[in-house]
Amino acid sequence: MKNGLKLIICLATLLSVQCSVFANAIDKTISQSEINKAGISISIKEVGSGKVIYEQNSQKPTMPASTLKILTLAASVDTLGKDYKFSTKLYKNTNNELFLKLGADPFLTSSDLNRIFESAVKNKKILSPKFIYVDDYVFDSTEWGEGWQWDDDLNPLMPKFSSYNIDKNLLNITIAPTNINAPANIFTSKFYPITFMNLVTTGNENNISISRNNSISPDIITIEGTVKKQETEFIPINHPKRYFILRIEDAIRSAKMDYYGKFAQKKVPSTNVYLVAQADHDLQTAISAILKNSNNFVAETVFKLAGGKYVNNTGSLANSQKMLNNYFDKLSLNYENIKIVDGSGVSKNNLMTTDFMTEFLSKQEVIDTLKPELPTSGEGTLKNRMLYFKDNLRAKTGTLSDVSAIAGYITSRTGRTYAFDIMINDPKSKSNDKKSLEEYVLRDIYTNY
């Protein structure tokens, strides 16, 4: 009995010493980084036991950046189901009227829309509909996230998201050289009523800047600089509904359908209608786009769709927050000290603690759903990062101005797996220095525990 007690005491002492060595290694790494310690939040927990291995400011609310997508996507997949499909459907009633039911499909293209109307003409012989309605009630009218920065409105990584999603809600602009010192040619791949202030000349290098003054005219784009080789730029569409309606008109002309009327808003009737054609895309495509490529547009769309499904009504931020809180309740998580106001982590109004993130990641349901989907070293946003760990790392990165973060799972050399979250909010340090610290901390986990 005494020998057994001595063994237990020895093991406990050994574990305590091991944890101390581990903590000292991370503390030393942080000190050597010269990044303000007050701006560093870290939480590391052993998967399975939930034991806290290391923490540094783990209860301090910080902007999570795109690591937030881990939480919002997990909740959305739980609500929508992995077999969910984004669908855009065309219906016809007995009065020869068509109803285009929008699904806010983030992967819908103009070609998809063309195929829908071509199918209506070719397969259903619908040549001259009496009226065409658009059912856009899948989302409310809010097209941008709470707390998104106004000066990011031309950022192609942050387009508006709405019921009228199509072509990624981006306008393709081509800037082509002409003769040396002469004005360049500027044109778009699809018609959209926008004016270009062309201040680009043909020169010896490509050096182009694009700006828009929304307070004066959101429909005037100023492009200036020089161009040597043809260049393609993508800018967010400032009026998604207008762009979508133009693409419907293109699809009607392409299908040779005889219709010149308007496109009023109206819900699809529950009776006396039949499905004519549809375009679908799998949720799995969205999961990859969100976790591996950190696609904000897709993340916001999925989050809002899940909110709509949760209340069986129109998607809105409020409904998405209800859906998310319900998911946290289901996992028995206390979310009083966090704040989530969008689905992508773009907003600086989001607040997260590293302790909450690792508690979330430690839940078996989350592990089963997300861990296999997270990118490993050399994939997605980790394409040129964390190569040292090979397949022992599954993580989601996040970056905002002054903020760098990474969260996920790491398996150490001993075979133990840990949930971790590292968030660094320090305006005085460089982005590369923050990311280097993240990797060195993960190396400490991998080699020392």
Q: Which two tokens stand for residue 215?
A: 């307070």
Please report, to the nearest 10 degrees, the dihedral formed by the alpha carbons of residues 193, 199, 202, 203 taken in order.
-140
Instruction: Enter the pTM of the model.
Output: 0.93
Per-residue pLDDT in tens (0 to 9) along the chain, 449 residues: 455 555 444 444 444 445 555 678 899 999 999 899 999 999 999 999 999 999 999 999 999 999 999 999 999 999 999 999 999 999 999 999 999 999 999 999 999 999 999 999 999 999 999 999 999 999 999 999 998 987 788 999 999 999 999 999 999 999 999 999 999 999 999 999 999 999 999 999 999 999 988 878 888 999 999 999 999 999 999 999 999 999 999 999 999 999 999 999 999 999 999 999 999 999 999 999 999 999 999 999 999 999 999 999 999 999 999 999 999 999 999 999 999 999 999 999 999 999 999 999 999 999 999 999 999 999 999 998 898 888 899 999 999 989 999 999 999 999 999 999 999 999 999 999 999 999 999 999 999 88
pLDDT for 9 equals: 46
pLDDT for 440 equals: 94
> Strand 131-135 and strand 97-101: pairing?
parallel
Q: Which of 137, 142, 133 is nearest to 103 (CA)?
A: 137
pLDDT for 10 equals: 45
Q: How many CB atoms lie within 10 A of CB 22?
A: 19
Alpha carbons within 13 A on the beta-carbon side of 23: 13
pLDDT for 21 equals: 57
pLDDT for 434 equals: 96
Q: Which of 365, 370, 435, 363 is nearest to 406 (CA)?
A: 435
CA distance 50 to 181: 65
Q: How many CB atoms lie within 10 A of CB 314?
A: 16
The strand pairing partners of 236, in sequence order, are: 170
pLDDT for 215 equals: 78
Show me where the domains of the chain are located.
Answer: 25-81+286-448, 85-141+240-281, 164-236
pLDDT for 20 equals: 55
CA distance 303 to 282: 15
For 360, the enclosing helix (H) or strand (E) is helix 354-361
Beta strands in 215-260 (DSSP E): 220-227, 231-236
Superfamily of domain 25-81+286-448: DD-peptidase/beta-lactamase superfamily (3.40.710.10)
Collect all residues with Cβ–Cβ distance below 8 Å to 37 and sequence separation of at least 6.
30, 31, 56
**What is the residue type of 140?**
D
Between helices 283-291 and 68-80, what is the axis angle to 10°? 170
85-141+240-281 is classed in which CATH architecture?
A: 3-Layer(bba) Sandwich (3.50)
How does DSSP classify residue 382? Answer: G
pLDDT for 11 equals: 44
Torsion 154-240-347-361 (CA) sign: negative
Torsion 232-302-311-313 (CA) sign: positive
For 418, the enclosing helix (H) or strand (E) is strand 417-425
The strand pairing partners of 20, in sequence order, are: none
For 304, the enclosing helix (H) or strand (E) is helix 296-311
Report CA 102 to chain centroid distance, whole Å.
Answer: 20
